Amino acid sequence: MYQLYNGYFLSNYQCEICSENCMDCYNKILCLTCNKNYFLSDGKCFSNSEVITNCKKLVPSQSLCALCDIGFYRDEYGQCKNCIENCNECNTEKTCLSCFTNYFLLANNTQCISYDLLVNCEVKSQSGCLKCLTGFYQQNQFCVTYNLTTFNCSTCGTTGICTSCVEYYILLDSKCYSKSSIENCVEVTNSKCTKCAFWHTPNYSNTSCHTKVVWWVILIVVIFVIIIITLIVFIVLFVSVQINRHYHIKKVQEKTCIFDVRKSNIQFTKTSISDVFVNKNQIKFEGENDEETIPVDKESRELLCVGNFGKNTIKVQFSSKDNTEKYTIRTEPLVISLKKNKAVEFEIFIRPNCSCKIKDKITLFSVNFKSGITKETQINLVAITQISTKLDNEELNEDKKLGEGGFGIVYKGTYKGNEVAIKKLKEMVGNSLLSFFEKEVTMLDKFRSEYIVHFYGAVFIPNKVCMVTEFAPFGSLQDLTNHKPSSDVCIKLRIKMMIDAANA
């Protein structure tokens, strides 16, 4: 058995010397125990002077460092080791706690970066950039441009989230979208859709457009539709009226006799209108079979030819007095246009309202289409009616008032030289009273006898309504029996009364 001295180790049955300052070793490389004033580190022996080089404070009576210099850290063997580059303080070889001035520590504590690498940074610190320049935002301690993450972004928050977009772009979910990509959006202000297309409105966040009913437009449309329908109805009615009018004019023209005066044997006479000629200056109405009288309440017809002897087309028509009470008159056609050397045959219809003599005038109007001048001339109108129970009020003459009742007043008067009793209805009579009056007139007209009071007729002109009968100067038979004593009425007169009553 071999005995080894301090500072040696056995190798191939030989004693080999350990490394320098090593008291006990396993081999040449691995020292197990160092000499005094030396300490073991990684299988090697180091003197205290080497430890003191990077150590601020040693462990008393030991070859160990209690506190290392700046830029070094104390390992598990009490030795001071270099920190990572530009690191001011560290606790392991790869973990830095703080960096030198003008350097900042990455968030993972593995590297110290120079401030020079913090571009686009306004406020720098050992934690990185605290505030970026406009147009940049903080990301992982550095400043990053907005466009790197959000296209068309104008401004972002400190976390890089876009807060506003460039012009004509809308901010939605921290991203910028063009106006054209937002359906129905037509106007953008401050990164929001502020105006949408018709029938749409921005939503509560101004990021999209949704449908909205525009009531005033609906109201306008409804009014417009009503106007259109009304206009269509009006046009249809107008066209219908024009068609009917045209059809009526055509029918009238078919019935109207228009002829060429140069080919006619009718003798025309001049009127006060230079271009207008007529075949007679007086219209005299006659009854059937050449009778001189015409019927009452029935139309009678006469013809009158009117010719245009001028150079221009004219329009002719007749007009009568508006306040005529005794008769009504009309013409066919109502109005007609006559070209040069043309004539028309007018039908003149008259309807007497009472028995009377008519001597009046009707007016013939002529309008020159070229000059627009209107002229007029008078045509005499003559007619004698048949005798009827419809009397002419102008033939009645009132003498004196005989009495008055609840519905009328009785006057003594004359009618065509005969003494008559005129029973006039009071003014403002009702329809029922007027109807009763008409029934009484009809009844009296049926009773015609020489033994009863003669009924001449009645006047039916408004406000002049009255009944005309024979005047009985001695009163009625009832008055005689009520006011005369029987001794004053002889037997012969009594017999006559009974015979006349029986004959009536």
Nearest-10 Cα torsion for 27, 32, 33, 37: 90
User: Can you give the three-state secondary structure of 473-490, one letter per residue?
Assistant: CCCCHHHHHHHCCHHHCC
439 labeled binding residue: no
333 preceded by cis ω (within 30°)? Answer: yes
Residue type (1 letter), 421: A
Whole-number Å distance between alpha carbons of 96 and 108: 9
CB 162 within 8 A of CB 156: yes
Sign of the alpha-carbon dihedral angle for 196, 202, 206, 208: negative
Whole-number Å distance between alpha carbons of 84 and 104: 13
CA distances from 447 to 127, 129, 189, 441, 467 (A): 138, 134, 103, 10, 15
N- to C-terminal Cα distance for the chain? 200
Q: Which helix (H) or strand (E) holds 465?
A: none
* Spatial CA neighbour of 285 closest among 265, 272, 301, 264: 301
Strand pairing of 374-385 and 282-284? Answer: parallel
**Encoded tokens for 125:** 């610190």
Whole-number Å distance between alpha carbons of 10 and 25: 10
Across the chain, how many H-helices and E-strands are there? Answer: 5, 43
Q: In this structure, what DSSP letter does residue 286 have? A: -
Whole-number Å distance between alpha carbons of 350 and 331: 9
Strand pairing of 72-74 and 80-82? Answer: antiparallel
* Spatial CA neighbour of 296 closest among 304, 287, 309, 305: 287
| Cα atoms in the 13 Å half-sphere on the side-chain side of 343 | 22
What residue ranges in 48-191 does DSSP mark as E strands? 55-58, 65-68, 72-74, 80-82, 87-90, 96-99, 103-105, 112-114, 121-125, 128-132, 136-139, 142-145, 153-156, 162-165, 169-172, 175-178, 185-189
Q: What angle do CA 35, 92, 128 make, to 5 degrees?
A: 150
Residues belonging to the binding site are: 424
Instruction: Return binding residues for ATP.
Output: 424
